[in-house]
């Protein structure tokens, strides 16, 4: 067994030691989804209303992660999970690094799998997703 896990370090072309785990995980995030006031207001106007669509069709990302990925407010990103993919504009939020938020609705639903683990409800929190700048 090697004395260091394989992800600890890798020799780059420039000769610098880099943390391979950081390289591999750079664009991976944990997705949580939930209700917001705008989501509820839009839902009362109808799921086809413009208010509902506007309230559920974006992703919130912390400023630290936005800076690291070179993403600006309003820019479209591609978000992929094992269950699907969506494009959504970015809104800055007060979130810890590695966490993104999408309001419950059609955008989030495309990323959530159908597995319920016997509960009858899929998990809308803790989904592993990849975010790519478009």
The count of other CB atoms within 10 Å of the CB of residue 86 is 19
| Residue 20 within a domain | no
Q: Is residue 3 part of a domain?
A: no
Specify if 21 maps to a domain: no
Q: List the domain range (segments joined by +) for residue 119.
A: 27-133
Confidence of residue 120 (pLDDT cuts 50, 70, 90): low
Neighbours of 44 (CB within 10 A): 10
Q: For the segment 71-85, what is each residue's pLDDT rounded down to a tens digit?
A: 999 999 999 988 899
- Assigned domain for 18 exists: no
pLDDT value of residue 116: 54
Half-sphere CA count of 43, side-chain side, radius 13 A: 11
Torsion of CA 117, 59, 29, 34, to 10 degrees: -30
* Residue 126's pLDDT band (cuts 50, 70, 90): confident
* 62-71 tens-digit pLDDT: 999 999 899 9
- Residue-averaged pLDDT of the chain: 77
Could you tell me if residue 4 is inside a domain?
no
Residue 89 lies in a domain: yes
- Give me the mean pLDDT over the 3-7 stretch: 42
Q: How confident is the model at residue 117 (pLDDT cuts 50, 70, 90)?
A: low
In a domain, 8, yes or no: no
Our count of domains for the chain comes to 1
CB contact at 8 A, 124 and 108 = yes
Query: Which CATH number fits the domain that encloses residue 87?
Result: 2.40.40.20
Residue 53 in any domain: the answer is yes
Give pLDDT, residue 25. 57
């Amino acid at each position: 067994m090697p004395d260091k896990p394989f992800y600890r370090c890798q020799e780059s072309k420039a000769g610098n030691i880099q943390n391979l785990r950081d390289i591999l995980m750079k664009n991976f995030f944990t997705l949580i989804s939930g209700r917001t006031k705008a989501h509820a207001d839009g839902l009362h106007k109808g799921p086809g209303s413009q208010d509902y669509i506007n309230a559920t069709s974006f992703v919130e990302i912390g400023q630290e992660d936005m800076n690291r990925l070179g993403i600006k407010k309003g820019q479209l990103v591609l978000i992929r999970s094992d269950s699907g993919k969506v494009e959504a504009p970015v809104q800055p939020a007060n979130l810890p690094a590695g966490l993104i938020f999408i309001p419950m609705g059609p955008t989030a639903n495309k990323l959530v799998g159908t597995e319920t683990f016997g509960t009858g409800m899929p998990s809308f929190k803790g989904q592993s997703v990849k975010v790519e700048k478009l």
